[in-house]
A = this chain, B = another copy of it.
Amino acid sequence: MSRHTPGVLHRRLPGVSAHPGEPSDGPLTVEELQLAARNHSMPLEGLRQDTTPPGLHYLLNHFDIPFIDADHWHLRVSGAVQRSLELNLRALRRAPSISVPVTLECAGNGRSLLRPRPVSQPWVLEAVGTATWAGVPLAYLLEQAGVNENAVEVVFTGADEGLQGGVRQQYARSLPVAEALRRDIVLAYRMNGADLPPQHGYPLRLVVPGWYGMASVKWLSAIKVVTKPFEGYQQAVAYRYQQNADDAGAPVTRIRVRSLMLPPGVPDFFTRRRVLAAGPVMLTGRAWSGRAAVARVDVGIDGKWAPAHLEHPAGPFAWCAWSMPWVADPGEHELTCRAADASGAVQPLATVWNYQGMGNNVVQRIRVTVE
C-alpha cells in the first residue's frame, strides 16, 4: 500500500505537457481526461434507435451547465431590426411551432484519431445523436422583429459563461442572415416530446439542422441582428479549419458525410473488442450528412466492399438506417462502413489532419473475433 500527496488532479500525468490547441504526439493529458468525463458521446448501441434519448445523445458544453429558472427568463431579440422583442417561455409556447428530427454531431468528433493529436475534447467516434426538436421557427421571430436591409448576420448568445483561450465570454455564435431565415431552424423548447433537459439548453436552444453542433447555441438568452460579421471567440478563433496556429482558416459549418456501424456481437469490457458467433448476422448502422442526402453506404469486410440497403430518414437532416447481411466465418475480421452523399462527398479512408481537429469523418473500423 502506498500513500500519495493530494492534489494530483492538478498535476500533469507523467511526461505530459498540455497546451490547448497545440497538437501533441504525447499521451493524453489530465485536462483531456477531465473533458472526457464531463462531455459524453453516444455509446454506439444508441445506433439501434431512430431517436436518441437525452442521456445517450452526445453532449459538449464548453462551460458549466446553467440551471435556469424559466419563470425569470426571457429571450431578447434586438439589433438591426424594426422592433426589438422580449419574450418569455409562455409567449414562445403560444407562437407557431415546428418539430424537426435532426442529427447533431460535434465538429470535433474523431479528433483523438488524428496524429499529431489536437489537444482539446478527445472524442473518439461517437459524438453524435438524433433528436426531435420542437419550438418556434427562428424565421418567424426574425420576421416579427423585421430584419433591416443592411443586416449581415444574426448572433446567438447563451447563458453559459467562462474562459477560453484567455478570453472571458458567454458562448456565442452567428449565422449569416440568409441561413438564419431558413424555414427549418428551431428555437427549441422541447426535445423528444419533453422539456429540454438542463444539459441540452433548458429552457431554450437554437437547433440548426445540417450544421455541426457548435451552431446550435444552448441556454439562449439573446438574438442580435448585426451589420458587421461577428468576431466572437467561438466564431473567429474556435471552430475553424486551420493548418497551423497562424492560419486564419475557414469556418466550420455543415456536417460532413459520415456513417457508423453498430458493433456486432458482444464487447470485452476493457478493450471493447467484439466477439460473435459464426453464421448469418445483420450488420446495421446509420449514415448522415449536413450537406446533401445520403446517397450510398458501402460496407467493407476485410477490405471487400459491398453496398448496404438504405432506409428513408425521418427528415432531410436526420440520419438514415442502413443494413447489410453478412455470413460471419470464424477468425479475425475488420468491418468498415463508408457513406457518400448526393453532393459527391465520400468519407476518407485515412484521416485528413487539421490544426483544431475539426470535421474528421474518417471511416470507422471495427475488429471482430468470430468464434
- Chain B residues with CB below 8 A from A26, complex form: 14, 27
Q: What's the least CB distance linking A322 to chain B, in Å?
A: 18
A349 to B352, CA, bound (A): 46
A242 CB to nearest chain B CB (Å)? 11
Separation in Å of the A261 CB from the closest CB of chain B? 13
* Interface-lining segment among A70-78, A117-125, A250-258: A117-125
Give the nearest-CB partner of A26 in chain B.
Answer: B14
Give A54-76 as 1s and 0s: 1 = Cβ < 8 Å from B's Cβ atoms.
11110101111101000000000
Besides A33-B33, A64-B267, 20 other A-B contacts (C-beta < 8 A): A1-B354, A2-B115, A4-B114, A8-B115, A10-B365, A10-B367, A20-B269, A28-B28, A31-B271, A33-B36, A37-B41, A37-B126, A45-B65, A48-B67, A53-B199, A54-B54, A55-B55, A162-B269, A163-B269, A164-B268
Contact residues in B for A8 (Cβ distance below 8 Å): 113, 115, 351
- Write out, one digit per residue, whether chain A residues 334-371 have a CB within 8 A of any chain B CB (1) or not (0): 10000000000000011111100000001101010000
Tell whether, in the assembled complex, residue A4 and residue B353 are in contact, meaning their CB atoms are under 8 Å apart. yes
The interface residues of chain A, by DSSP majority, are classed as loop
Complex: A48 Cα to B64 Cα, angstroms = 11
Question: Is A197 among interface residues, defined by CB-CB distance under 8 A?
Answer: yes
- The distance in angstroms between the C-alpha atoms of A268 and B62, with both chains bound, is 8
What copy number does this chain have within its complex?
A: 2
Is the CB–CB distance between A53 and B198 below 8 Å?
yes
| 10 residue pairs, one from A and one from B, having the closest CB atoms | A27-B27, A55-B55, A40-B40, A20-B270, A36-B36, A28-B28, A164-B269, A162-B266, A163-B268, A54-B55
- Chain B nearest CB, measured from A148 CB (Å): 34
- Closest Cβ of chain B to A309, distance in Å, is 21
Query: Which of A163, A243, A367 counts the most chain B CB atoms within 10 A?
Result: A163
Q: A112 to B4, Cβ gap below 8 A?
A: no
User: How close is A102's CB to chain B, nearest CB, in angstroms?
Assistant: 17
B43–A14 CB distance below 8 A: no
- A contact set with B: CB distance below 8 Å: 1-10, 13-16, 18, 20, 25-28, 30-41, 43, 45-46, 48-49, 53-57, 59, 61-65, 67, 112-115, 119-120, 122-126, 161-164, 168, 197-200, 243, 263, 266-272, 275, 334, 349-354, 362-363, 365, 367
Residues of B within 8 A of A40 (CB): 37-40
Nearest B residue to A123 by beta-carbon distance?
A: B37
Shortest beta-carbon distance, A82 to chain B, in Å? Answer: 35
**CB-based contact B55/A67 at 8 Å:** no
| Pairs across A and B, CB under 8 Å, 30 listed | A1-B243, A3-B353, A5-B350, A6-B349, A6-B351, A6-B362, A9-B113, A13-B27, A27-B27, A27-B28, A28-B28, A28-B32, A28-B33, A30-B112, A33-B112, A34-B124, A34-B272, A35-B272, A36-B36, A37-B124, A38-B41, A39-B40, A43-B61, A43-B65, A43-B199, A53-B197, A56-B65, A56-B197, A56-B199, A63-B269
